[in-house]
Structure 1
Amino acid sequence: MARRKKVYEGKAKILYEGPEPGTLIQYFKDDGSAASTPPQTALEGKGVLNNRLSEFFMNGLNAIGVPTHFIRRLNMREQLVRMAEIIPLEVVVRNFAAGGISKRLGIPEGTPLPRPIVEYYFKDDKLGCPLVSEEHIIAFGWASQQDLDDVVALALRVNDFLSGVMMGVGIRLADFRIEVGRIWEGDYMRLIVADEISPDSCRLWDVRAEGEGGAPREPGPLQDVYTELARRLGVLPSNVTHSPKPTLIN
């Protein structure tokens, strides 16, 4: 196999130069990337499952007109994606109180929010990806006000799609995070969903494990969240070792 040039390596993925200009190969590692997974901990088979799951969700978004960087899956661990200029933000959409918002505001976990709430976190692991406001984002030039308006519209469309898909297989989408990138088509710039959509970036509750009064609780039977989600969605590849359930968005 010809040696490929590595462009970037994160906790859960490696990006290599793609075979064509403007493309990248995204390789899914087994290393953990969730808050409860210690650094350098490998979860056997996780990368294979996340590759399949992200393919499923990205294809679904493309099919309903939500643009993504996904082009096609290449093999068990790799997919071909479009190169994009990533806005340095993690965009989090919350449907239920959990994690950081419960701690910051004292809202009991599992409380339905009055409407989906979009939050921004500055992408810098050394700083712990701090929560930032629109004022910070615009002042520091990470994105314009028009960009943010478009990001919110994009994120809410993703939320509608994911919430519906998850509920269809008995899973409640408490919250999730995405990354957004810029691509240019001639002189025209547009925003697309980039990175991945997988259990690493979603907080999922099994509807069958809801507590008293219908409040979701965690964990439920989704201890093996990667395998169970892939099984319910019908995208489970064969010969994949089960992986434990992480705690997800802060």
Structure 2
Amino acid sequence: MASMSRRRQIYEGKAKVLFEGPEPGTLVQYFKDDAAAQQKRGTITGKGVLNNRISEYLMTKLNELGVQTHFVRRLNMREQLVREVEIIPLQVVVRNVAAGSLATRLGIAEGTQLPRSIVEYYYKSEPLHDPMVSEEHITAFGWASTQDLDDMMAMALRVNDFLSGLFLGVGIRLVDFKLEFGRLWNNDEMRIIIADEISPDSCRLWDIKTNDKMDKDRFREDLGQVEEAYQEVARRLGILPEGGPADLKGPKTMQ
């Protein structure tokens, strides 16, 4: 933590902070306890510690599977080393069960199993509240090419197959999730890899028996026991930090 206090802050979002990494082409991703859902803001105690561990676990599994991610290794309770990528300004959402905006938008009862997995694209813009966009929008405005979209779609569906089975094995239903992608450059060669995080902040996770929500919807919908839900996901995956999610102060930054 002392060495990180001397590193320059690159970016701060609602849930994470990025600092310059220890070597070229790397960044340090710091997980905060801050929570945001539309206009709602708050804190989920220990969320950063748990999301760091959960995302580390899932990204490592994907890397082992041959699905490339930006994750390199976890540094401490709240930080991980990641590859620096050029973020594609899109959120790719994979839906297996009707919930959230899909249920509202199409008038489908929440919890309805979809005929097949549906992939949607959203433009990353906090001032615009991440509007849904089509492939036509994406290619017309140059956010991604047709080939980029094909690669992202294929990766998203592969991740969906893997995560659905993984969570099912621990009694959790993967309702939907969002992924972010980045372009990783190596000289003149470029490949698209998964970036950001995969955690209860970015996934809808329901208990397979009770349909109890085990994700950020508990915060969004004022259901209570938010910290306990995140801890339960980590516990079922077998990665709850020893002694629970201990807190660590964030590194000091230089502007």
Q: Is TM (by shorter chain) over 0.5?
A: yes
Scaled by the length of structure 1, what TM-score is found? 0.89
2:12 to 9, 13, 20: 9
Name the structure 2 match of 1:118: 119
1:221 deviation in Å? 11
Name the counterpart of 1:27. Answer: 30
How many equivalent pairs are there? Answer: 234
The secondary structure found in structure 2 opposite 1:182 is: strand
Alpha-carbon distance change, 206 to 45 in structure 1, aligned in 2, over 3 angstroms? same
d(CA) in 2 for partners of 1:210, 1:99: 14
- Do residues 43 (structure 1) and 44 (structure 2) align? yes
Contact 2:100–2:110 (CA<8 Å) still a contact in 1?
A: yes
Q: 3-state SS of the aligned residue for 2:81?
A: strand
**1:17-96 equivalence runs, <5 A:** 17-35=20-38, 38-39=40-41, 41-96=42-97
| 2:250 corresponding residue in structure 1 | none
Question: 1:1-250 maps to which residues of 2 (within 5 A)?
Answer: 1-2=2-3, 3-35=6-38, 38-39=40-41, 41-210=42-211, 224-240=228-244
Equivalent position SS for 1:164: helix
User: What is the Cα-based RMSD across aligned positions, in Å?
Assistant: 2.0
> Which segment is superposed worse, 183-192 or 233-242?
233-242
Q: Provide structure 1 residue ranges, at least 5 long, that are not aligned to the other structure.
A: 212-217, 243-250
What is the TM-score when the length of structure 2 is the normalising length? 0.87
Q: Take 1:188 and 1:64, find their aligned partners in 2: how far apart are those partners?
A: 22
- The verdict on how the C-alpha distance between 1:192 and 1:241 changes in structure 2, with shifts beyond 3 A counting, is closer
- What is the one-letter code of the residue matched to 1:33? A
Q: Structure 2: state its 5+ residue gaps.
A: 247-255
Decide whether aligned partners of structure 1 residues 222 and 233 sit closer, same or farther in structure 2, where only a CA change above 3 A counts.
farther
Aligned counterparts of 1:33 and 1:199: Cα–Cα separation in 2: 13
Distance in 2, Cα, partners of 1:12 & 1:210: 26
Secondary structure at the aligned position of 2:43 is classed as coil
CA contact (8 A) 2:171 2:207 kept: yes
The verdict on how the C-alpha distance between 1:66 and 1:221 changes in structure 2, with shifts beyond 3 A counting, is farther
> How far does residue 107 in structure 1 lie from its aligned partner after superposition?
1.1
Counterpart of 1:140, as a letter, is F
Contact 1:34–1:200 (8 Å) recurs in 2: no
**For residue 155 of structure 2, what is the amino acid of its counterpart?**
L
Question: SS at 1:33's partner residue?
Answer: strand
CA contact (8 A) 1:209 1:221 kept: no
What is the deviation of 1:161? Answer: 1.1
Q: Which moved more, 1:12-21 or 1:103-112?
A: 103-112
